[in-house]
Structure 1
Amino acid sequence: MNTSILTNADLHCHSRVSDGTLTPEALATRAKTNGVQLWALTDHDEVGGQQRAIHAARALELPYLTGVEVSVSFAGRVVHIVGLGFDHHNTALVEGLRATRGGREQRAREMADGLAQVGIKGAYEGALKFVGNPELISRTHFARFLVEAGHCQDVPEVFRRFLTEGKPGYVEHKWARLSDALRWIHGAGGLAVIAHPARYGFNPTEEYALITEFMGHGGRGIEVVTGSHSDTEAAKYTETAIEFDLLASRGSDFHSPEESRTDLGRLADLSGRLQPIWMALEDRIIWPSCLH
């Protein structure tokens, strides 16, 4: 298959291995059913679901790119960098991600202590039910507990009342450095993408600093069309990609049928003025034998 004719690529989603609710196999089936032509599973700071995703995609004759979403501390905020098309067995990448995850358990216990101070008991154990592995516990798992326990109606309400800066349960965590994340991704043979740039709330100077430092470390791509971008934001980052000569990526950031605002494969197309990142990754796509 010629990658230049692909339009419905979904290169950003999450499974139960990190903070999604579906298995890698169920995500592969959902992607195929929804007409996705090229798929990547991008769990947070973890590549443990990659082999399952590869096997599921092959069984469904769905072209696949390995993926991960790395949490990075930049300018006092958490920025996410998506890696695509890498060797998921690469030792430096695997060990780097493990180190990044290492502080999650302690942070989670401190988050639970903060919630206990406002009368919400058992939050750590409740959140752990939704993930199983303390290394991967996140605010999303606490949010699901708070909804299940009746403290909030839904996940958006949780993040309005809890777990964000200045609210009960918020604990800052130091993630990877931008340079480290890009070094791991590039060292494993992949390409790096700034995920959902509109979400960070950077002013123009801060955003320019992020993009130029990212490019200075060899970063090549930016998500233009994604589940959390409005049409106006997608148009803005279309111009950003053109201005900085960045490759454009596209991904739903799908986590759950009940929680996500955009389903797998249900995104607007990239502008024809952009160079899709998957065209630079053609030799790293895991093609079904029928299409190779």
Structure 2
Amino acid sequence: MNLDATLNADLHCHSVVSDGTLTPEALVERAKAGGVQLWSLTDHDEIGGQQRAIDAARAAGLAYLTGTEISVSFAGRVVHIVGLGFDHESPEMIEGLRATRGGREPRAREMAASLARVGIHGAFEGALQYVGNPDLISRTHFARFLVEAGHCTDVPDVFRRYLTDGKPGFVPHKWAALKDAVGWITRAGGIAVIAHPGRYDFTPTEEYALITEFIGHGGRGIEVVTGSHTAAEFVQYADTALEFGLLASRGSDFHCPEESRIDLGALPPLAGRLTPVWAALEDRIHHRA
């Protein structure tokens, strides 16, 4: 397999193991049908679906890299760090992610109580209907309930009105530290990548601080082409990757056929001047058994 920047790699995707709506097996089929040549399942703060994804990808003849997306707190915001190509049986990573997930149910109950105070009752039980993994109940599951119950028109409407800072239903969560997340990934043999940097609305100074601290902890990659970036941001973060000597990644951030901005395999390629993250992970790629 040619591992240059033209490879149709999709290294950011979610299943029912976190807040997606498709199983790992269904995602393999969708990725294959979409022309994906190298795929990764990156469920939020969870690697419990990795063996299923590996087995399904092998059976389909689809090259695969292990993955996860870890939520960290940085400068008062939640930032996501994607891990790729790590040992998915690493005890340190398994325990670290378990601890990170630990506060989600109490947080979810607080969110439901807050929504009840503005007249929306039964939100916790309603959100649970959309949860594949109870340890990972999240704002996305609440959003799906609020849309289905007719309180909002779509998922973005829910977040605008209820589930962001300062709105009814928002409850902060204590996430992992950036140093810990990058450490879990690298000590398990993988590469840490800053996910969708254009989403965080950082000032240039804050973004510089994030990138330099990330590199200082051993982080090596940044998502350049992703479903939430504009064409201008593809160029901006390609320049960022070159400026800081970071490997470039690419991923749709696919969650659901009805909700996601772009389908698996439909992203434009990385710019040829970039060094793709998968070129540094060749020995970690799972192929057909």
* TM score, norm. by length of structure 2: 0.99
Cα deviation for residue 167 of structure 1 reads 0.7
In structure 1, what is the equivalent of residue 21 of structure 2?
Answer: 21
Is the CA contact 2:14–2:44 (under 8 Å) kept in the aligned structure 1?
yes
In structure 1, what is the equivalent of residue 36 of structure 2?
Answer: 36
Q: Equivalents in 2 of 1:114, 1:128: separation in Å? A: 16
In structure 2, what is the equivalent of residue 74 of structure 1?
Answer: 74
Would you say how many aligned residue pairs link Structure 1 and Structure 2? 289
Cα deviation for residue 129 of structure 1 reads 1.1
Cα deviation for residue 6 of structure 1 reads 5.1
Q: 1:132 to 1:247 in 2, by over 3 A?
A: closer
The residue matched to 1:4 in structure 2 has which SS? coil
Which one-letter code corresponds to 2:24 in the other structure? P
Which one-letter code corresponds to 1:211 in the other structure? I
Is the CA contact 2:191–2:221 (under 8 Å) kept in the aligned structure 1?
yes
- Asked if 1:281 is matched to 2:246, the reply is no
In structure 1, what is the equivalent of residue 103 of structure 2?
Answer: 103
Q: Equivalents in 2 of 1:259, 1:270: separation in Å? A: 24
Q: Equivalents in 1 of 2:244, 2:99: separation in Å? A: 32
Q: Equivalents in 1 of 2:149, 2:4: separation in Å? A: 48
Is the CA contact 2:5–2:275 (under 8 Å) kept in the aligned structure 1?
no
Q: Equivalents in 1 of 2:133, 2:217: separation in Å? A: 32
Q: Deviations over 1:27-78 (max 9, x none)?
A: 0000000000000000000001001101110111000000000000000000
RMSD over aligned CA atoms reads: 0.9
Is the CA contact 1:164–1:170 (under 8 Å) kept in the aligned structure 2?
yes
Cα deviation for residue 133 of structure 1 reads 3.4
The residue matched to 1:153 in structure 2 has which SS? coil
Which one-letter code corresponds to 1:276 in the other structure? P
In structure 1, what is the equivalent of residue 248 of structure 2?
Answer: 248
Q: Equivalents in 2 of 1:90, 1:274: separation in Å? A: 30
Q: Equivalents in 1 of 2:164, 2:18: separation in Å? A: 20
Is the CA contact 1:193–1:219 (under 8 Å) kept in the aligned structure 2?
yes
The residue matched to 1:243 in structure 2 has which SS? helix
Q: Equivalents in 2 of 1:5, 1:232: separation in Å? A: 18
Is the CA contact 2:224–2:249 (under 8 Å) kept in the aligned structure 1?
yes
Task: Give me the identity figure in percent.
Answer: 75
Cα deviation for residue 7 of structure 1 reads 1.5
Q: Equivalents in 2 of 1:132, 1:43: separation in Å? A: 12
Alignment of 1:156-167 (within 5 A): 156-167=156-167
Cα deviation for residue 160 of structure 1 reads 1.1
Q: Deviations over 1:160-192 (max 9, x none)?
A: 111101111000111000000011101111000
The residue matched to 1:52 in structure 2 has which SS? helix
Give structure 1 stretches of 5+ with no counterpart.
none
Cα deviation for residue 135 of structure 1 reads 1.5
Q: Equivalents in 1 of 2:211, 2:33: separation in Å? A: 35
In structure 2, what is the equivalent of residue 235 of structure 1?
Answer: 235
In structure 1, what is the equivalent of residue 216 of structure 2?
Answer: 216
- Asked if 1:65 is matched to 2:65, the reply is yes
The residue matched to 1:83 in structure 2 has which SS? strand
Is the CA contact 1:92–1:184 (under 8 Å) kept in the aligned structure 2?
yes
Q: Which runs of 4+ in 1 moved over 6 A?
A: none
In structure 1, what is the equivalent of residue 271 of structure 2?
Answer: 271
Is the CA contact 1:6–1:37 (under 8 Å) kept in the aligned structure 2?
no
Q: 1:5 to 1:176 in 2, by over 3 A?
A: closer
Q: Equivalents in 2 of 1:108, 1:187: separation in Å? A: 31
Q: Deviations over 1:65-116 (max 9, x none)?
A: 0000000000000000000000101000000000000010010000001100
Cα deviation for residue 2 of structure 1 reads 3.3
In structure 2, what is the equivalent of residue 54 of structure 1?
Answer: 54
Give structure 2 stretches of 5+ with no counterpart.
none
